[in-house]
Each structure stands twice: as structure tokens, then as C-alpha cells.
């Protein structure tokens, strides 16, 4: 692992599931960073427990305690807190690696991006799927014109929710009524925008929210050349696959969690493997890449892999979806029954 000339103090804000499973292990694997990591959580006992588990320097219960000493901050708190905490860090001169989705609107993304640029600070977003060898290779294939131009994307992702959430910020009113679309959809819409290199418009958005967080969502998008259909669920296992069809009749179909090289199917049915780069294909590996990029970006040695501006189109789409929200037809939900 590369080392830096001056110690880089990283504060991890939020000691929940994503920190414990992703960011903290990656930081712990860095000998140069481990002695300078501060775990911050309003539940100080939890912060201290993780500090001990990973061998870090210290723990705190409030972001304000660390803003004077941290070089960079990893924001890993419930979604609705991303913007205010990122803003607090940037205003205090602290570089930020924020969990996805960075914000709830394109305006917020632009404001945070401008704030970071003006202060000369890094603002990196953890849209991990951009690091997958398969998604990168697919983008390259699209850019090369292997599909002609993209005419259709179908994306289906779902499973019974089993993320070991440590707090109450994921569901219901406390999550601001933003559920599976804001969670998984933040990845999926980002991939779609990245692959298409454009921001589609929302044709239709429907979900199953009854005043709380949606657990099933259907998104139909369109550009001048392509239509996109996305189905997401926190409630039941879906196919967990996507299919991209091109104007030349070729297609790419791949499993979301399939680490093998994706397969390109030509119009005549011939199949070939799309070679991917030899980079990591495990979450631990993606964590290492992300932390390395964050530290390098802090020290001006690299550009952030996913800067704020890169996610602005998908954040704008998320906001448009919620603005056009309609209810999925669910005749079973409230049948007319005498109460």
C-alpha cells in the first residue's frame, strides 16, 4: 500500500453496517492509516467497540469533536443525513468520501460540488458499482459502439431485505419516505446514466409506498434512442440481472452479482466474452480501491473515481421519480373489508 508523507487522519462518521463491513475493514488494512482512524457515532459504546475491534486510534460521539483534527471523513450515516454532514465537513476543511446517494436533488449535489471545488477539497461518492470490472467493461463496449447505440435496458434487482441495519433510519417516516429506489435505485440509475452517457427522462414511476418508504419500485425511462425499464424490490427475490440491447441487434446480459466476465451476444447469436480488467472483484477489494483513491485524491495524486458531478444525473432522476410518484396497483393491499 502506498504511504503518504504526512499522517492522514480519517474520521468515519456512523458506525453502522456499511462502516463495519466495508469502510472500517479497508481502513484497517492500511498500516499507514490505521493509527489515525477515528470512529464517530452518537452511540459512543458502539463506536468504541468498533475502534477496539479494528485497532483504531480513537472514538467520538459527535462529528464536531473531530472536525478540527480529521483530514478526511467517511460519511456513512442514514441517507437523509448525507447532505448536512457533508456540508459540515467541507465547511470545516475536511475532505469527504460519502456513501451513496450523495443527496436528494441535483441542486444539492451541485451545491456540495461547488463548495468542495471552491475549498480545494475532495468530494468522492461511493457508487461502488462503477468499480465492478463487469460494469466498466460494459461501458467500454458501449462507448466503442459494439451495440451500435443502446436501444433498451432492462434491469431487475431484488431480494428480501437483509442488510444488517444498525439504526432506525432506513424505513418509514424517519427515512423521509425514500426506500428501495433511493437505496438500490441510486446504484441502478447511476449505472444507466453512466452507460448511456446521458440523463433519460422519467416516463413513469410507481411504487408501493403508503406514506412510508417504498419497498417495490418500477421505473420507466426514455431517451431519444433508448427505453429503460427497472424493477426493484426489498420484499422478494427477483432475477438480479440486466440486459442491454443495441441498435445492431446485439445484446449484453449479465447477473448483477456475477463476477465472471459478461457475455456479448451478436445479432447472429454468436457469443463472446467481454474481457474485463484484472482488478478486484470482491467488496473488500473495492473498499481498498476506494480508500486508496480517497487518500490519493486528498493528497492531489489522483482525481476522485466518482466525483460529485458524476452522480448528479442519477440524483436528478431519483428526484424526478419521486416527484412523479404513483401507486403500484396492489389489489391485495386494502381490499374492501368490514373492519
Q: Alpha-carbon torsion 138, 252, 254, 150, what sign? A: positive
Of 200, 203, 179, the C-alpha closest to 190 is 200
| Out of 104, 115, 214, 288, the residue judged to bind another protein by CB under 8 A | 214
Size of the site for another protein (CB under 8 A): 44
Segment 75 to 104, residues that bind another protein, using CB under 8 A? none
Stretch that binds another protein, among 188-196, 204-212, 220-228, 283-291 (CB under 8 A): 204-212
C-beta closer to another protein: residue 3 or 45: 45
Within 30-81, residue ranges assigned H as helices are 44-54
**Residues 311/101, Cβ–Cβ less than 8 Å:** yes
CB of 107 to another protein, least distance (A): 26
Of 204, 222, 206, the C-alpha closest to 153 is 222
Within 29-132, residue ranges assigned H as helices are 44-54, 82-91, 106-119
The three-state secondary structure class of 327 is: strand
Does position 337 interact with another protein (CB under 8 A)? The reply is yes
Does position 43 interact with another protein (CB under 8 A)? The reply is no
Of 96, 152, 147, the C-alpha closest to 120 is 96
Does position 171 interact with another protein (CB under 8 A)? The reply is yes
C-beta closer to another protein: residue 120 or 211: 211
Stretch that binds another protein, among 50-58, 64-72, 206-214, 289-297 (CB under 8 A): 206-214
C-beta closer to another protein: residue 255 or 279: 255
Q: Fill in the per-residue mask, 218 to 237: x = in contact with another protein (CB under 8 A), - = not in contact.
A: ---------------xxxxx
Stretch that binds another protein, among 4-12, 84-92, 213-221, 301-309 (CB under 8 A): 213-221
Q: What does the alpha-carbon distance between residue 223 and residue 236 come to, in Å, rounded to a whole number? A: 29
| Helix (H) or strand (E) run with residue 157 in it | strand 150-158
Q: Fill in the per-residue mask, 131 to 170: x = in contact with another protein (CB under 8 A), - = not in contact.
A: ---------------------------x-xxxxxxxxx-x
CB of 173 to another protein, least distance (A): 5
CB of 217 to another protein, least distance (A): 11
Does position 179 interact with another protein (CB under 8 A)? The reply is yes
Q: CA separation (Å) from 338 to 210, 331, 333?
A: 20, 16, 14
Segment 291 to 330, residues that bind another protein, using CB under 8 A? 328, 330
| Out of 210, 273, 275, 279, the residue judged to bind another protein by CB under 8 A | 210
CB of 209 to another protein, least distance (A): 6
C-beta closer to another protein: residue 113 or 158: 158
CB of 53 to another protein, least distance (A): 20
Q: What does the alpha-carbon distance between residue 160 and residue 163 come to, in Å, rounded to a whole number? A: 9
**Residues 66/95, Cβ–Cβ less than 8 Å:** no
| Out of 238, 274, 289, 309, the residue judged to bind another protein by CB under 8 A | 238
Q: What does the alpha-carbon distance between residue 18 and residue 23 come to, in Å, rounded to a whole number? A: 7
Q: What does the alpha-carbon distance between residue 197 and residue 313 come to, in Å, rounded to a whole number? A: 10
C-beta closer to another protein: residue 53 or 330: 330
The three-state secondary structure class of 117 is: helix
- The DSSP bridge pattern shows strands 216-222 and 123-126 to be unpaired
- Cα–Cα–Cα angle for 303, 308, 310, rounded to 5 degrees: 85
Q: Which residues of this protein are in contact with another protein, per CB under 8 A?
A: 158, 160-168, 170-175, 179-180, 208-216, 233-239, 328, 330-335, 337-339
Amino acid at each position: 500500500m502506498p504511504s503518504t508523507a504526512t499522517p492522514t487522519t480519517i474520521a468515519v462518521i456512523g458506525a453502522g453496517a456499511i462502516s463495519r463491513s466495508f469502510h472500517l475493514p479497508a481502513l484497517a488494512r492500511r498500516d499507514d492509516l490505521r493509527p489515525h482512524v477515528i470512529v464517530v457515532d452518537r452511540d459512543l459504546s458502539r463506536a468504541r467497540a468498533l475502534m477496539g475491534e479494528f485497532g483504531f486510534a480513537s472514538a467520538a460521539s459527535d462529528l464536531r469533536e473531530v472536525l478540527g483534527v480529521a483530514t478526511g471523513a467517511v460519511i456513512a450515516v442514514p441517507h437523509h443525513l448525507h447532505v448536512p454532514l457533508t456540508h459540515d465537513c467541507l465547511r470545516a476543511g475536511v475532505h469527504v468520501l460519502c456513501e451513496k446517494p450523495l443527496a436528494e436533488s441535483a441542486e444539492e449535489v451541485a451545491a456540495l460540488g461547488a463548495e468542495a471545488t471552491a475549498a480545494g477539497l475532495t468530494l468522492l461518492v461511493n457508487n461502488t458499482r462503477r468499480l465492478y470490472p463487469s460494469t466498466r467493461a460494459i461501458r467500454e463496449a458501449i462507448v466503442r459502439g459494439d451495440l451500435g447505440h443502446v436501444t433498451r435496458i432492462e434491469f431487475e434487482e431484488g431480494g428480501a431485505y437483509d442488510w444488517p441495519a444498525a439504526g432506525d433510519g432506513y424505513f418509514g417516516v424517519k427515512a423521509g419516505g425514500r426506500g428501495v429506489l433511493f437505496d438500490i435505485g441510486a446504484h441502478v440509475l447511476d449505472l444507466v446514466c453512466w452507460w448511456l452517457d446521458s440523463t433519460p427522462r422519467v416516463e413513469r414511476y410507481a411504487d408501493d409506498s403508503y406514506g412510508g418508504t417504498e419497498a417495490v419500485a418500477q421505473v420507466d425511462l426514455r431517451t431519444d434512442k433508448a427505453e429503460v425499464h427497472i424493477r426493484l424490490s426489498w420484499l422478494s427475490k427477483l432475477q438480479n440481472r440486466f440486459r442491454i440491447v443495441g441498435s445492431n441487434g446485439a445484446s449484453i446480459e449479465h447477473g448483477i452479482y456475477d463476477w465472471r466476465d459478461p457475455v456479448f451476444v451478436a445479432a447472429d447469436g454468436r457469443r463472446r466474452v467481454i474481457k474485463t480488467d484484472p482488478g478486484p472483484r470482491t467488496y473488500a477489494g473495492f473498499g481498498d480501491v476506494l480508500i486508496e483513491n480517497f487518500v490519493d485524491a486528498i493528497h492531489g495524486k489522483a482525481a476522485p473515481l466518482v466525483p460529485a458531478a458524476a452522480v448528479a444525473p442519477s440524483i436528478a432522476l431519483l428526484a424526478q421519480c419521486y416527484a412523479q410518484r404513483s401507486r403500484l396497483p396492489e389489489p391485495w393491499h386494502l381490499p374492501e373489508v368490514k373492519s
